[in-house]
């Protein structure tokens, strides 16, 4: 076995001391040693010209890096709300029982480690876990028994996957059990796509005309915020003269309940990469970066092979598609487990090999992005749609959809419905008709846009899915009558507490306060004033937080107070001014035990 | 109506908020004209002798004595104000909240370099340490919060005089902006 020095030296050398390769270095060390011990951090710091504190900061920031050994088999079991709906707790107990250790621990022999993890993009096939990078879906206690016994026998994780998913999931290079679950194909993303058609059309136009065409299409960002894509490209292009510009594709879909990019990356990476080339041509960039969330690492080799094939086919590299002096290539950067890295400036920081903390804006990425260069950061689906705009033409594309929302939207439907999966729908479809198609007609509520979105009650199911009425990045979590909404909301708050980057207090402390207040009400110790205060705290966190995470994290509470107030009110203590959760006997119990005191309760 | 009666206490704090109260300088004379002090370290009245109007609470609760004191204040005061970071959020003392009580006690009484008699004090006269430091509003109903570490003298003065006179408290941004 190699020493820590050798492992670190090899990892640092591989990146050629490039600071943007920091996450790769740590990933290599983690893979080799099973953790990133203090000594390794000091050595990496020395090798990269950073301080040990920098390394402490980076390693502790990302969920998939660990200072403690994570186990030879590191099980990361998703704990999202839908996973819980689908029986996650029984699966977790089975893991604990079979492995002989609790979650958050590693077995004494170091073979198996059990860890919770935030949504892994498999909501349509929960409960799911990632074990040493390999995804296991549709887990049951019986399957867990089998998996653990195979781990005990020392089997390679990839060999534990017996059945493969549909489409390219089953291909030689992916070999994953993940299913696509494509339920409905539309005219933009899942319409037939001929390799090379988008970029070839683009390079016959001037970059300015390409931007004009995208503007004509009225394409808006599909990640959720809905910024006009043509305008973003134009801003970036206007800043790119004499500078090194970048196209960055945000494939860090971390919003619980969304998994559309997973399917695009599996089935349509060529369309995506062409979309990136079109963007590169339009803004004057010669480098593209695909920032892939660590949870989708199982697609990495496959995506790299697609890039290789495109290079061979002259769709990437020098003089792309025969266009003289248009050189464009794409590299893939892997995240390491952090929801916040879906925020574009945090993503850029992370891609540069640092902690994924959001930057102050302005300057916007279009002015000062990756390594300071003008950068257009676009969602996976947006870039695919841009490729389609090239093929169809902007006007044709703009014919689809509603007044302010053009084209189609990929929706990731999960939760209490018969047919979870991907639906490509034209903007303007009502929520009710989506539910009818997905077999969730009798839903009590739908969480539209994931936890950071909105909890929509049945009375509003007639609303249209569009930027103007019901905006969504794609996550649609169907909630059936009989579910306890507050349990789901509490799961969402756990998520935000876990994923807050900690930079600003309103988000770091505010989300904890929100969760505590919610727990007080759930424990039936809340009063009318607690509920009023809860709503006030929502406003504080929303308005005072620095980035989108804290600005939206109160939404699960705020929108359920608005739309399902009775769920809260039924648990309040009425006619009481204040109820304390404080238990004095319990609070002094530990001290009394240690000091050998007999607790007294009466007056001093 | 007689003068409003004010009681004050410093619990798990540093007395800084009381110092800030005294920092209102000569306005203290106006204050004395406006109010009557009851239980407070300022006049050294140790026990409540009557029902009070305003309770001025500095510090959070780190032991059983603090908790009882706070509950006693709630019983004897119409209005309670959490004054300063420690009362509101736990403040510096709450830095121990991430460390188990056992480790804290061992570090202070057993492992510390300057300790001679290595015993964890267990005299019945001593208050019992709570598992963590609690902000006051988690234990009793708190009516108002005055932020700051300490809150500025003017803020304390403005807040007390607003309460006493019933005038609206003007809170310009600068008064509670701390960065």
Nearest-neighbour CA in chain B from A588: distance (Å): 5
pLDDT at site B167: 87
Q: How do strand A421-426 and strand A408-415 relate by DSSP bridges?
A: antiparallel
Q: How many helices (H) and strands (E) does chain A have?
A: 24, 14
pLDDT tens digits, one per residue of A290-300: 999 999 999 99
**Beta strands B129-134 and B61-63, pairing class:** antiparallel
**Which residue of A534, A590, A591 to mutate against B (max B Cβ within 10 Å)?**
A591
Enter the tokens of residue A353. 């090999």
Answer for the pair A222, A410: CB distance below 8 angstroms, yes or no.
yes
| Tally of CB atoms within 10 A around A98 | 18
Distance CA A542, CA A289 (A): 31
For residues B111, B115, B117, B122, the Cα torsion angle rounded to the nearest 10 degrees is -70
Smallest Cβ distance to B122: which of A577, A590, A597? A597
From the list B120, B121, B128, which residue is nearest A588 (CB)?
B128
Number of H helices, E strands in chain B: 6, 7
CATH of residue B154's domain is: 3.40.50.700
Pair A114, A103: CB distance under 8 Å = yes
Find how far residue B161's CA is from the centre of its chain. Answer: 19
* Residue B28 confidence (pLDDT): 86
* Structure token digits, residue B147: 């932020």
Q: Which residues of A touch B67 (CB under 8 A)?
A: 582, 584, 587
Which run of H or E residues covers position A229? Answer: helix A229-239
Is the pLDDT at B61 greater than 60? The verdict is: yes
A interface with B, Cβ–Cβ below 8 Å: 577-578, 580-582, 584, 586-592, 594-597, 599-600, 603-604
The pLDDT, as a whole number, for residue A370 is 97
Q: Which residues of chain A have pLDDT under 70?
A: 1, 600-604
Q: What is the CATH number assigned to the segment(s) A73-162?
A: 3.40.30.10
Coil, strand, or helix at residue A435?
helix
B117 found inside a domain: no
Do residue A591 and residue B128 have CB atoms under 8 angstroms apart?
yes
Model confidence at B1, in pLDDT bands (50, 70, 90)?
low
Residues 6 or more apart in contact with residue A6 via CB below 8 angstroms: none
Q: Where in chain A is the domain with CATH 3.40.50.11540?
A: 184-398
Strands B144-146 and B77-83: parallel
The CATH T-level fold of domain A408-479 is Ubiquitin-like (UB roll) (3.10.20)
Interface probe for A, chosen from B128, B134, B144 (most Cβ of A below 10 Å), is B128
Distance between first and last Cα of chain B = 42
Question: Is residue A393 helix, strand or coil?
Answer: coil
> B139–A582: do the CB atoms touch at under 8 Å?
yes
Is residue A213 within 8 A of residue A203, CB to CB? The reply is no
The number of folded domains in chain B is 1
* Number of Cβ pairs < 8 A linking chain A and chain B: 58
| pTM, full prediction | 0.90
The shortest CB-CB distance from B68 to any of A586, A591, A603 is to A603
d(CA A510, CA A515) in angstroms, rounded, equals 9
- The residues of chain A that CATH labels 1.20.1440.230 are 485-569
Within-domain flag for B135: yes
Beta bridge partners of A290: A249, A332
DSSP 3-state assignment of A62? coil
pLDDT at A18: 92
Residue among A188, A387, A171, A204 nearest A298 (CA) = A171
Q: What is the pLDDT of residue A204?
A: 96
Q: Has residue B103 been placed in a domain? A: no
Does residue B64 fall inside a structural domain?
Answer: yes
Please list every residue in chain B whose beta carbon sits closer than 8 Å to the beta carbon of residue A582.
67, 134, 138-139
Angle at B49 between CA B146 and CA B47, to 5 degrees: 70
* CATH node for A184-398: 3.40.50.11540
Rounded Cα distance between A570 and B27, Å, is 49
CA distance B106 to chain A (A): 10
Tens-digit pLDDT profile for residues B98-140: 999 999 999 999 999 999 889 999 998 999 999 999 999 999 9
Q: Is B89 left (phi over 0), alpha (psi -120 to 50) or beta?
A: alpha
Contact B153, B25 (CB under 8 A): yes
> Does residue B112 lie within any of the structural domains?
no
Question: Model ipTM?
Answer: 0.91
Contact yes or no for A591 and B129 at CB 8 A: yes
φ/ψ region of A320 (left if φ > 0, alpha if ψ in -120 to 50, else beta) reads beta
SS3 A132: coil
- Where do we find the tokens 């034209």? A426
Does B67 contact A596 at a Cβ distance shorter than 8 Å? no
Residues from chain A that touch B138, judged by Cβ atoms under 8 A, are 580-582
The DSSP H or E segment spanning A454 is strand A454-457
On whether residue B115 sits in a domain, the answer given is: no
CATH 3.40.30.10 domain range(s) in chain A: 73-162
pLDDT tens digit string along A115-129? 999 999 999 999 999
Question: Which residues make beta-bridge pairs with A446?
Answer: A456, A478
Contacts of A590 in chain B (CB under 8 A): 100-102, 131
Q: Alpha-carbon dihedral of residues B7, B12, B18, B19, nearest 10 degrees?
A: 170
Q: Is A325 helix (H, G, I), strand (E, B) or coil?
A: coil
DSSP H helical ranges for chain B: 16-22, 27-34, 64-76, 84-89, 101-106, 153-165
Q: Is residue B102 part of a domain?
A: no
Structural domain boundaries, residue B171? 5-95+131-175
The string of DSSP letters for B70-109 reads HHHHHHHEEEEEEEHHHHHH-TGGGGGGGS-HHHHHHIII
CB count in 10 Å sphere of residue A436: 12
Fold classification of A485-569 (topology level): de novo design (two linked rop proteins) (1.20.1440)
Per the omega criterion (within 30 degrees of 0), is the bond before A36 cis?
no
Interchain contact, A588 vs B122, CB within 8 Å: no
How many whole angstroms separate alpha carbon A512 and alpha carbon B69? 28
Cβ within 8 Å, pair A586-B131: yes
Three-state SS at A362: coil
| B102/A595 CB distance under 8 A | no
Inter-chain contact B102–A590, Cβ cutoff 8 Å?
A: yes
How, if at all, do strands A112-117 and A73-78 pair? parallel
Whether residue B104 is contained in a domain is answered as no
How many other CB atoms are there within 10 angstroms of residue A585's CB atom?
11
> A254 burial class (0-12, 13-18, 19+ CB within 10 angstroms)?
buried
């Amino acid at each position: 076995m190699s020493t820590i020095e050798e492992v670190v030296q090899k990892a640092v050398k591989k990146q050629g001391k490039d600071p943007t390769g920091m996450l790769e270095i740590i990933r290599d060390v983690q893979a080799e040693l099973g953790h990133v011990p203090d000594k390794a951090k000091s050595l990496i710091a020395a090798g990269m010209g950073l301080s040990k504190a920098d390394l402490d900061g980076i390693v502790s920031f990302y969920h998939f890096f660990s200072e403690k050994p994570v186990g030879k088999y590191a099980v990361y079991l998703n704990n999202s709300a839908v996973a819980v709906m689908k029986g996650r707790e029984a699966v977790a107990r089975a893991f604990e029982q079979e492995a002989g250790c609790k979650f958050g621990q590693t077995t004494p022999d170091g073979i198996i480690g059990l860890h919770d993890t935030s949504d892994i993009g498999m909501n349509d096939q929960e409960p799911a876990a990632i074990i040493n990078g390999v995804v296991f879906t549709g887990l049951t206690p019986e399957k867990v028994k089998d998996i653990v016994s195979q781990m005990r026998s020392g089997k390679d994780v990839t060999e534990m996957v017996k059945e493969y998913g549909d489409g390219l999931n089953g291909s030689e290079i992916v070999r994953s059990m993940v299913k696509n679950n494509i339920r409905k194909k539309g005219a933009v993303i899942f319409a037939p796509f001929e390799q090379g058609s988008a970029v070839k059309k683009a390079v016959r136009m001037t970059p300015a005309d390409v931007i004009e065409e995208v503007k004509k299409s009225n394409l808006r960002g599909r990640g959720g915020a809905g910024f006009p894509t043509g305008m973003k490209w134009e801003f970036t292009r206007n800043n790119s003269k004499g500078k090194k510009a970048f196209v960055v594709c945000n494939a860090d879909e971390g919003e619980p309940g969304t998994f559309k990019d997973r399917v695009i990356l599996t089935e349509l990476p060529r369309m995506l990469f062409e979309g990136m080339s079109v963007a590169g041509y339009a803004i004057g960039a010669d480098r593209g970066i695909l920032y892939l969330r660590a949870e989708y690492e199982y697609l990495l080799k496959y995506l790299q092979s697609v890039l290789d094939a495109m290079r061979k086919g002259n769709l990437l590299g020098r003089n792309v598609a025969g266009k003289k002096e248009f050189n464009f290539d794409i590299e893939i950067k892997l995240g390491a487990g952090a929801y916040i890295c879906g925020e574009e400036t945090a993503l850029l920081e992370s891609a540069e090999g640092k902690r994924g903390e959001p930057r102050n804006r302005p300057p916007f990425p279009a002015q000062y992005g990756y390594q300071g260069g003008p950068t257009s950061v676009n969602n996976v689906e947006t870039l695919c749609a841009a490729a389609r705009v090239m093929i169809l033409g902007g006007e044709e594309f703009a014919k689809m959809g509603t007044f302010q929302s053009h084209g189609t939207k990929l929706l990731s439907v999960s939760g209490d419905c018969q047919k979870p999966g991907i639906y490509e729908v034209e903007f303007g479809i009502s929520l009710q008709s989506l539910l009818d198609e997905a077999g969730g007609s009798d839903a009590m509520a739908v969480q539209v846009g994931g936890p950071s979105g909105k909890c929509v009650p049945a009375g509003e199911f007639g609303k249209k899915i569009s930027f103007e009425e019901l905006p969504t990045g794609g996550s649609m979590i169907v909630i059936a009558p009989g579910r306890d909404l507050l349990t789901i909301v509490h799961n969402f708050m756990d998520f935000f507490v876990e994923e807050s980057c900690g930079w600003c207090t309103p988000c770091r402390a505010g989300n904890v306060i929100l969760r505590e207040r919610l727990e007080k009400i759930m424990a039936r110790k809340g009063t009318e004033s607690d509920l009023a205060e809860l709503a006030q705290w929502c406003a504080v966190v929303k308005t005072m937080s620095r980035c989108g995470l804290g600005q939206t994290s109160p939404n699960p509470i705020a929108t359920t107070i608005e739309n399902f107030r009775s769920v809260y009110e039924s648990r309040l203590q009425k006619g009481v001014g204040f109820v304390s959760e404080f238990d004095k006997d319990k609070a002094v119990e530990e001290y009394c035990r240690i000091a050998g005191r007999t607790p007294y309760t009466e007056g001093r | 109506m007689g003068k409003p009666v004010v009681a004050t206490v410093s619990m798990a704090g540093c007395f800084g908020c009381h110092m800030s109260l005294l920092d209102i300088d000569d306005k203290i004379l106006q204050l004395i004209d406006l109010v009557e002090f009851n239980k407070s370290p300022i006049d050294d009245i140790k026990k409540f002798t009557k029902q009070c109007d305003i309770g001025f609470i500095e510090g959070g609760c780190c032991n059983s004595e603090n908790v009882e004191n706070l509950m006693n204040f709630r019983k004897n005061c119409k209005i309670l104000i959490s004054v300063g970071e420690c009362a509101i959020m736990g403040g510096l003392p709450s830095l121990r909240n991430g460390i188990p009580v056992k480790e804290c006690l061992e570090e202070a009484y057993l492992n510390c370099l300057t300790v001679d008699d290595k015993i964890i004090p267990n005299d019945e006269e001593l208050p019992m340490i709570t598992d963590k430091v609690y902000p006051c509003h988690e234990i009793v109903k708190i009516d108002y919060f005055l932020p700051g570490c300490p809150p500025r003298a003017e803020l304390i003065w403005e807040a007390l005089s607003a309460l006493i006179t019933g005038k609206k408290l003007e809170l310009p941004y600068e008064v509670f902006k701390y960065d």
